[in-house]
C-alpha cells in the first residue's frame, strides 16, 4: 500500500520518484519514504511511522481527489 500510494503521489511530486510495487519494504522503498518525508517537512528516517502514514494518506487523497467524489443521495 505504501508503494502504491507513494507512486501515485509521485505523479504530482516527481522528486519522490517511483518504485516497483512488490510488497517488499526494501532500500528503494525506504529511500522513497525519505524523499517523501523531505518534501513534506517530516523527519527523514525512511520509516513509515504514524505521522508519516497520516501525511501519505492525506496527500494521496488530495492527489487522487477521492474526497471530492459526488455522494450518492
Taking only the tens place, the pLDDT of each residue in 5-23 is: 999 999 999 999 999 999 9
Sign of CA dihedral 22, 27, 30, 35: negative
Dump the DSSP string for the chain: -HHHHHHHHHHH-GGG------S---HHHHHHHHHHHHHTT----S---HHHHHHHHHHHHHHHTGGGSPPP-
Closest listed residue to residue 2, CA positions, set 54, 56, 50, 43: 56
pLDDT of residue 66: 73
Percent of the chain clearing pLDDT 70 (strictly above): 90
Q: What is the mean pLDDT of the chain?
A: 92
Inter-residue contact 17 to 32 (CB < 8 Å): yes
Q: Given a cut of 60, is residue 31 above it in pLDDT?
A: yes
Amino acid at each position: 500500500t505504501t508503494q502504491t500510494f507513494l507512486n501515485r503521489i509521485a505523479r504530482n511530486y516527481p522528486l519522490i520518484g517511483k518504485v516497483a510495487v512488490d510488497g517488499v519494504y526494501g532500500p528503494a522503498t525506504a529511500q522513497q519514504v525519505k524523499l517523501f518525508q523531505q518534501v513534506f517537512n517530516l523527519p527523514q528516517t525512511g520509516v513509515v511511522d504514524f505521522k508519516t502514514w497520516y501525511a501519505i494518506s492525506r496527500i494521496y487523497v488530495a492527489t487522487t481527489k477521492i474526497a471530492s467524489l459526488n455522494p450518492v443521495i
